[in-house]
Amino acid sequence: MKIECIKTYHLRCQLDQPFGFSQWFYKQRNVLVVQVIASNGMSGWGECYGPADVIQAAVEKFYAPKVIGREPLSVDATWHFMWRASLDFARAGVMTAAMSGIDMALWDLKGKALGLSVSDLMGGKQRDYVPCYATGMYYVDLPENKLLPHLLEEAQGYVDEGYKALKIKVGKNPEFDIEFIRAMRARFPNTILAADSNHAFDLSEAIKVGKVLDECDYAWFEEPLSPEHIAQFRQLSDKCITPIATGECEQTRFGFQKLLGSGGVQLVQADLGYCGGPSEALKIRTLASSQGLNMIPHVWGTQFNLASACHFLATAYHEPGRAEEKPLFLEYDRTENPLRDDIFTHKVVVENGKACVPTGHGLGVAINLDAMRPYVVCETETK
């Protein structure tokens, strides 16, 4: 069996309700999905996190011609072949994102070829269900005095659906953020809460907000600072008790080695569609484990990334380990997402705040090509 063809699909949908965070508003969703087809007709699917049109060019023009004809079951060998092929000029960024989608598709294909789930390939699942945290509470176009109660009511809906953990957006401005953080804790005294600023703060602002998160017993403070300023993570960590979480902007074990070397990060959040794919995510998890840290992936996109992260967490051992298991939460984005929710025939089932780990071969999710077709804005095929 050889890799015979690689197809890519840039998918796009307009949103009925735009939503915002600390940096900008989303009016549409874009994602690149990758299909790797073997000589026996079997195919695997993956996706890439990042600018879909740019990544599509990297897959079609650079990586796909190089991996055609390779053995699809030799996933790690193919990863290192791609890495070496672009080492001089693509050690991070959209090229590594392109590798990630191909790698994810190869994991899916290998599982299907061997009759195993990706959990099996990753070493065997430790659990059948993975607890989720609901990512939401994005901004809408309302004045702050109306936005705050709107966000609290949104959060109430997730709690009513059975979610035991929620992640809010902060970074609008410190004054509103602090009021929001305290209002959430007052409204939900028994819910696990986390806050994500999407690198909106400078160090002094992050310390100020971090102390309020300490006061309100938040589970983590996500992307409090720009990823450019690694040393500041340690400075923030020295001032706050709340664990610092980051990593969705970082890639490969080499990048994470630098990030974690500062000692200021307590929770690792690589994205399997961006960090180098599932192959590299496992190495990043081992690196984190060697420092006593846990990894819970960042998840954004379609069922392919969601399923990859679900399998990853199903196989995880929490650090440092104890008889009563520490939950490692799967991120479940609750914003409008037709590209995840409307075009798949087999999905990751999420009920009562828990994701059922797919048991089918490969990733265990399946896309409906007919349902996908209206969202395709550009398609490529390399043979």
Return per-residue pLDDT of the chain as tens, 383 residues: 999 999 999 999 999 999 999 999 999 999 999 999 999 999 999 999 999 999 999 999 999 999 999 999 999 999 999 999 999 998 999 999 999 999 999 999 999 999 999 999 999 999 999 999 999 999 999 999 999 999 999 999 999 999 999 999 999 999 999 999 999 999 999 999 999 999 999 999 999 999 999 999 999 999 999 999 999 999 999 999 999 999 999 999 999 999 999 899 999 999 999 999 999 999 999 999 999 999 999 999 999 999 999 999 999 999 999 999 999 999 999 999 999 999 999 999 999 999 999 999 999 999 999 999 999 999 999 99
Question: At 239, which amino acid appears?
Answer: K
Token pair belonging to 11: 């998918």
Q: What does pTM read for this prediction?
A: 0.97
Q: Cβ atoms within 10 A of the Cβ of 214, count?
A: 14
pLDDT at res. 2: 98
List the CATH code of the domain at 3-115+368-382.
Answer: 3.30.390.10
The CA distance from 97 to 273, in Å, is: 6
All structural domains of the chain with their residue ranges? 3-115+368-382, 120-366
Across the strands, what pairs with 166?
A: 134, 193
**In this structure, are strands 330-333 and 267-268 parallel, antiparallel, or unpaired?**
unpaired
Active site residue 298: yes
Q: Cβ atoms within 10 A of the Cβ of 380, count?
A: 17
The CA distance from 28 to 348, in Å, is: 23
The residue annotated as part of the active site, out of 10, 298, 311, 361, is 298
pLDDT at res. 176: 98
End-to-end CA distance of the chain: 15
Say which residues have a Cβ less than 8 Å from residue 330's Cβ, sequence separation at least 6.
Answer: 130, 131, 132, 133, 296, 297, 299, 306, 309, 310, 313, 355
The CA distance from 233 to 231, in Å, is: 5
Tell whether domain 120-366 is in CATH 3.30.2270.10.
Answer: no
pLDDT at res. 210: 98
Q: Which helix (H) or strand (E) holds 44?
A: strand 43-48
pLDDT in tens, 44-57: 999 999 999 999 99
Helix (H, G, I), strand (E, B) or coil at 68: coil
Question: At 26, which amino acid appears?
Answer: Y
Angle at alpha carbon of residue 122, lines to 74 and 1, rounded to 5°:
25
